[in-house]
Amino acid sequence: MDINAEQKRTITRYLLGEMSGPERSEFEDRYLDDPVLFEELVAVEDEMMRCYVRGRLPEAERTAFERRFLTNPYHHRRVNFARSLMKYAASIHEPSHSRGIAGQGDAAGASHSDTDGQKQKPGRWQRIAVSLAGPGSTLRLATAIALVVLIAGSSWLAVMDTRLRRAFEQMQTQHDTDLRREQELRGQLAALRLRLQQQEQVAHRSSLTIPQFTLTSHLVRQSGPQTPLVIPKGFPQVVLEAILCSNAYLSYSASVETPEGRQIWRQSDLKGLQTRNGWDVIGLILPSRIFNSGNYILKVSGRTAAGKPEEVDSYAFQVVRR
Amino acid sequence: MTRPNKLRRDDDSSEQFERLLRHLDDDRERAGEKYEDIRRKLARFFAWNDCFPEEDFADLTFDRVASRLATKHIHNIVAFIWGVAKNIKRECHKRPQPINLEDLPADKIPQTGHPEPMIIENTEEQRRQQCLQTCIQKLSDSERELFLEYEYYAAKGKKMNGLAARMGLTVGALRTRAHRIRRRVEVCTLRCLQGLEDAS
């Protein structure tokens, strides 16, 4: 009575209530006419309950099972019955299991054999114990114990030997790995030291050479025109620091335009900073080659929390190249 | 053999029950076996269609069939029984099912935040084990051995071939017998939990 996979799927769909009305009705006609199919249906249902109780149902089937069987009190009662029956059957065959069932299984097991006077077949260990009893039992017992000790001792030595070998091999492999790792790290450290020295030299040179210029907007400008940004010959970059009224935006975009409105440079995702004297600014590093002597406008826009861009401010400045 | 509720209650209806059995088979013993077999199938049919208590619906089916047999000649009694069962299923689906609060699954019972549900569940499990033991003791020795061995094998996911051979049965026959016994034990246990069966 092996159930083929297709048949089992059909039965499972029926039991889980996944069939349409007509399909369900047609399937019912089939199993009412076919005793073999009916028994398969019962078998699959019982198996499904056992699998659920043992936590062996696949995820999708488990969810469908719970939706179908645990939301209906009568089905739920049957699931509980399946669980209890499994415990009971286990307690009869594995007495240690019964201790988990508030002692019921033990009682059940005892009464099962005692009250019925039913002859139970002796277990493996019982049979060994019986064979060791009787006439000449002392010698047999001593031989048996010696044999057991010998076998146990040999097994223990063999196991320990294997474990020690494995541990030694693991340690050796680990040692080789550590050595390789140490060499790699030494190499990385030397490379990092060299890079750091180079960066320190570059930073020192940059701090001396990059022209820096602070821009104020017409809103905060106190008086008079700003001094021009002088870019001496041979300086590749200039730093602009634009003072903001407030740092109220998540990020900023800046663009430099000529008075005719031609954009010559643009940068996005700039973060507002606060200087030591409490000013909110954005810092920009621009290539000096984009500038000729003349007037320029720096336009700053901000991105709100809603992601919307808003115009923040504009800064007019004059560049003088020498 | 368990008679349907109505036929069981009413002594005058025993003739109806006898007539039902005669329709099932001329031999009374075979008729009894067929009756039990159909009743078991009816109960499962109603359970799979969410008509509970399924045993009551199975009995209701026999009640109706038996009463019709008095006035009508039925050629194919089994087909007629299933026809009646399908009609009852439709009626069952039309009416709301009464639900006892105690029968609700644990997650549907309003939680109080106290450990009562666990205590209740433990107590219920103890009661179930007592009832189960009582019901299993009511089985014959051979039935009990077959049933418990089968359940143990099934729970462990073991192959049934060895067990079936030991019992002198085919795997199919073993499975059918085990399921029939399981159904009886299940009904007995549920009745015991409801106080309808002696749990002592």
Same domain, B128 and B53: no
Run of H or E including A255:
strand A251-257
Same domain, B90 and B20: yes
pLDDT of residue B164: 93
Whether residue A62 contacts residue A52, with contact meaning beta carbons closer than 8 Å, is answered with yes
Q: What is the pTM of this model?
A: 0.51
Structure tokens at A48: 């499904």
CA distance A40 to A172: 58
Q: Decide which of B79, B94, B109 is a domain's last residue.
A: B94
Same domain, B125 and B186: yes
Please state whether beta strands A212-215 and A237-244 pair in parallel, antiparallel, or not at all (unpaired): parallel
pLDDT of residue A94: 74
Same domain, B58 and B136: no
Q: Which of B44, B99, B189 sits opposite A81 (nearest CB)?
A: B189
List the CATH number of the domain containing B184. Answer: 1.10.10
Confidence grade of residue B134 (pLDDT, cut at 50, 70, 90)? very high
Percent of chain B with pLDDT over 90: 44
Same domain, B9 and B83: yes
Give me the residue label for tokens 């009869």.
A92
Same domain, B90 and B125: no
The total domain count for chain B is: 2
Question: Is the residue at B112 inside a domain?
Answer: no
Instruction: Among A103-112, B38-47, B166-175, name the one with the lowest average pLDDT.
Output: A103-112
Question: Is the residue at B43 inside a domain?
Answer: yes
Secondary structure (3-state) at A276: coil
Secondary structure, 3-state, chain B: CCCCHHHHHCHHHHHHHHHHHHHHCCCHHHHHHHHHHHHHHHHHHHHHCCCCCHHHHHHHHHHHHHHHHCCCCCCCHHHHHHHHHHHHHHHHHHCCCCCCHHHCCHHHCCCCCCCHHHHHHHHHHHHHHHHHHHHHHCCCHHHHHHHHHHHHHHHHCCCCHHHHHHHCCCHHHHHHHHHHHHHHHHHHHHHHHCCCCCCC
Same domain, B88 and B128: no
Q: Decide which of B61, B94, B127 is a domain's last residue.
A: B94
pLDDT of residue A20: 92
pLDDT of residue A209: 58
Run of H or E including A232:
none
Cβ distance of A74 and B144 shorter than 8 Å: no
Confidence grade of residue B98 (pLDDT, cut at 50, 70, 90)? low
Same domain, B81 and B162: no
pLDDT of residue A92: 82
Same domain, B140 and B70: no
Question: Is the residue at B102 inside a domain?
Answer: no
pLDDT of residue B197: 63
- Say which residue, B74 or B140, is predicted with more confidence: B140
At residue A65, does pLDDT exceed 80? yes
Contacts A97 to B, Cβ<8 Å: none
What are the phi and psi torsion angles at A277 (to 5°)?
-85, 10
Contacts A102 to B, Cβ<8 Å: 122, 125-126, 129
Q: Decide which of B94, B126, B154 is a domain's last residue.
A: B94
Residue A67 sits at the chain B interface (C-beta within 8 Å): no
Instruction: Among A58-72, A100-114, A129-143, A159-173, name the one with the lowest average pLDDT.
Output: A100-114
State pLDDT tens for residues A96-131.
554 443 333 333 333 333 333 333 444 444 445 545
Residue range B58-78: average pLDDT? 89
Percent of chain A with pLDDT over 90: 20
Question: Is the residue at B30 inside a domain?
Answer: yes
Domain limits at B26?
5-94
Same domain, B121 and B189: yes
Run of H or E including A306:
none
CA distance A181 to chain B (A): 49
CA distance A152 to chain B (A): 30
What angle in degrees, to the nearest 10, is found between the helix axes of A73-93 and A35-53? Answer: 80
Contacts A105 to B, Cβ<8 Å: 129
Give me the residue label for tokens 């179930």.
B128
A290: Cβ–Cβ under 8 A, 6 or more apart, which residues? A256, A264, A265
Same domain, B68 and B14: yes
Cβ distance of B52 and A90 shorter than 8 Å: no
Please give the radius of gyration of chain B, using alpha carbons only, rounded to the nearest integer. 20
In 3D space, the residue among B185, B187, B161, B159 whose CA is nearest the CA of residue B173 turns out to be: B161
Question: Is the residue at B123 inside a domain?
Answer: yes
pLDDT of residue A263: 92
Question: Is the residue at B177 inside a domain?
Answer: yes
Identity of the highest mean pLDDT range in A212-216, B14-18, B93-97, B131-135: B131-135
Same domain, B124 and B187: yes
Contacts A112 to B, Cβ<8 Å: 133, 136-137, 144
Cβ distance of A84 and B129 shorter than 8 Å: yes
At residue B11, does pLDDT exceed 70? no
Q: Which of B105, B155, B172 sits opposite A73 (nearest CB)?
A: B105
At residue B45, does pLDDT exceed 90? yes
Question: Is the residue at B111 inside a domain?
Answer: no
At residue B159, does pLDDT exceed 50? yes
pLDDT of residue B110: 54
Question: Is the residue at B186 inside a domain?
Answer: yes
